[in-house]
Structure 1
């Protein structure tokens, strides 16, 4: 007796190939999403000091790159609640490799006090030429 209504071998092969392609696309998507999430700069403030008095201060902020990519052309700006302006800080060195630290310093013409909250915005370029702006909250220490 001959069986009727079975699945032709060609359909089985096509379904198998489609399943392999779909699984490959899902694996590629997961890999790409994970890589883009992991390959990010992560900068932390290790110290923030202000020296001066009145409205004439010199602020120094120590940064460390604890992320998984290097940053070049590093620059920083300080924003304090007592001023509507942001103050540019010069960073040395201007390249912040993984695990490396930098000091960003500059003059600030605003009233500052010990323990004042401020925001340091760090900007840099990663090896893929993408720009990153990283805002960091800090508490200023006046020795």
Structure 2
């Protein structure tokens, strides 16, 4: 088992099960502290290589993922690994796509799909999940 995220650290979302997942923006500097052991990067193109294992999901800003099944596979893996690893979800700014993915992780963790956006907005970022399409993606996501 790896050292967990600090639950009080910026961007760290505590899921109902106690799992901790960090959301962040890839354009911002890497936060101080331990590095992720696994990440899901949500972007139009793959980013620079990282020192940790990661999955890339093609997802243009303000839109929906190009491959919904690929997103689901990556998020299920992230949720499973978050039980005992430092998992991070990140997009360019850390708000829309990241917030949407965090809301989907909350659904996987047992939050009802209709409550997941509010759950993430209250515990991660007030403006997370930026578009109606992103909200619909969360509401249609099943655990």
TM-score (norm 2): 0.26
Structure with more helix by fraction: 2
TM-score (norm 1): 0.26
Rg larger in structure: 1
Structure with more strand by fraction: 1
